[in-house]
Amino acid sequence: MTSINVAVIGIGNCASSLVQGLSYYREGANETIGLMHHDLGGYRPSDIHVVAAWDVDRRKVGKDVAEAIFAKPNCTTVFCASVEPTGTTVRMGKVLDGVAEHMADYADDRTFLLADAPEPTKEEVVAALRSAKADVLMNYLPVGSQAASEFYAECALEAGVAFVNNIPVFIASNPEWADRFAQAGVPIIGDDIKAQLGATIVHRVLTDLFAKRGVKLERTYQLNTGGNTDFLNMSNHRRLASKKISKTEAVQSVAAERLEADNVHIGPSDYVPWQNDNKVCFLRMEGTMFGGVPMNLELRLSVEDSPNSAGVAIDMIRCAKLAQDRGLAGPIDAASAYFCKHPRTQMTDDLAAQAVEDFIMQRE
């Protein structure tokens, strides 16, 4: 198999964990720990190389990706400090709605410092993708970046580069965008990445368990706190509409019966600066068991947010490349359903896991 050339939009905490992870597994450390697939369709993490990158922060633009991933305001755990230079310099990106206005109200080490550099045109981004021979474009823009995400999706379409949409802006699950990618012969996986073992996947599995064990789910909430720039960005509730839809639908889609809106609350809750990249989830589920007897479940989950998504991202990259190798186009439904909160086609996680294995092995 050949290598996989990846371009990255947004060199934040998630990109930092991804790039650190590529070095960590490239060196052969604990190759069976932390990955859902060491070998996926003939591709290993060591086959993935970052060949292009964009950001808008002056502390990152103009630096090698290996240096930029450790720049402020990034605050995720450093689990692989010895990242070799990639030879890829971070370019100035398109701003549009990629930076929330309220971010300017916080200290420099908590927010963005906009680079004083000209923003690229679509033609320049497309040319960069082609020059770098990128196979996959990863979208790591902040939540609420609708216009900026669509700008880069357009670039992926024109350059013929597979698009992986890690954020809750609806592109793969939007029928018009899905059709455009299909017509252009370009694969897309999305929308909104599920963490390896995060709040949404745990909530979904427990909701599915209630349904399969005959327990009627009456009401539930999921409250999350964190101190990274993702939570700071989402403290502006106007940027949260698609995020709440994505997280809520991920749970509603596996419930035996859909809950009334007043009986389900799922979404980011508060920004706690000292938590940095640690995310804490408080989950409560109330149900009715045999004989109408009530029960409830409460759970507290604490995870380092960005590494929690990086292993999933590595699988998404490889599935996107497999789709590209096989001449597939449009939303890759099996990968989207297993790895994302808001795919075009929702499945329970056990069915989605089997669908991904079937996709990898090319089984019908």
Q: Is the pLDDT of residue 1 over 70?
A: no
Cis peptide before 120, with omega less than 30 degrees from 0? Answer: no
pTM of the predicted structure, to 2 decimals: 0.96
CA dist., res. 306 & res. 227, Å (int): 12
CB atoms within 10 A of CB 176: 7
Distance, first Cα to last Cα, the chain:
23
Question: Per residue in 113-165, pLDDT tens?
Answer: 999 999 999 999 999 999 999 999 999 999 999 999 999 999 999 999 999 99
Task: Select from 6, 49, 327, 248 the least CA-distant residue to 137.
Answer: 6
Size of the chain in residues: 364
Task: Select from 173, 140, 178, 136 the least CA-distant residue to 156.
Answer: 136
CA dist., res. 352 & res. 236, Å (int): 33
Quick check: helix, strand or coil at residue 222? Answer: strand
The string of DSSP codes covering 339-358 is HBSS-SS---HHHHHHHHHH
347-351: long-range contacts (C-beta < 8 A, 24 or more apart)? 348/204, 348/208, 348/254, 349/201, 349/204, 349/205, 349/208, 349/254, 350/208
Q: Is the pLDDT of residue 197 over 80?
A: yes
Residue where the block lists tokens 């019908």: 364
Residue where the block lists tokens 């970046």: 145
Q: How far is CA 289 from CA 55, 58, 203, 254, in A?
A: 51, 56, 18, 18
The first and second tokens of residue 33, run together, are: 């720990």
Question: Per residue in 39-92, pLDDT tens?
Answer: 999 999 999 999 999 999 999 999 999 999 999 999 999 999 999 999 999 999
